[in-house]
């Protein structure tokens, strides 16, 4: 289970459009998750270690990111937004380095 505080903080930094996209894309593929909110969806994605084909190379290119970066990366992926260090850092509440 991802850290609840990190799930809530990252979810709070997402725009309404990003949240809607995450919910719509995820529940279209997983209808039994109907009614789920973004923190629950992101937690589920972290539990199954989703999107490794994108998250692992990103982490290798940007060493030193905190563990919560995985939540931020998955949020961006499922929001259909570009996976950039600036976007990940913004969701983590940090300056990009």
What are the average pLDDT values for consecutive 10-residue runs of the chain, which has 97 residues?
86 98 96 95 91 94 93 97 96 82
* Dihedral class, residue 93 (left if φ above 0, else alpha if ψ from -120 to 50, else beta): left
Please report the pLDDT score of residue 61 as a whole number. Answer: 96
pTM: 0.91
Please report the pLDDT score of residue 40 as a whole number. Answer: 95
Contacts for 70 with CB less than 8 Å, ≥ 6 apart: 2, 46, 55, 59
Please report the pLDDT score of residue 96 as a whole number. Answer: 66
Separation in Å, CA 60 to CA 23, 37, 43, 64, 71: 28, 30, 22, 9, 16
Please report the pLDDT score of residue 95 as a whole number. Answer: 76
**Using only C-alpha atoms, what is the Rg of the chain?**
12
Are 76 and 69 contacting, i.e. CB atoms less than 8 angstroms apart?
Answer: no
Please report the pLDDT score of residue 8 as a whole number. Answer: 95
């Amino acid at each position: 289970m991802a850290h609840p505080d990190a799930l809530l903080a990252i979810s709070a930094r997402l725009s309404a459009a990003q949240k809607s996209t995450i919910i719509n894309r995820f529940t279209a593929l997983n209808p039994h998750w109907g009614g789920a909110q973004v923190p629950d969806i992101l937690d589920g994605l972290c539990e199954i270690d989703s999107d490794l084909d994108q998250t692992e190379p990103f982490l290798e290119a940007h060493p030193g990111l905190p563990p919560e970066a995985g939540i931020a990366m998955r949020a961006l992926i499922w929001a259909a937004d570009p996976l950039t260090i600036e976007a990940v850092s913004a969701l983590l509440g940090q300056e990009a380095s």
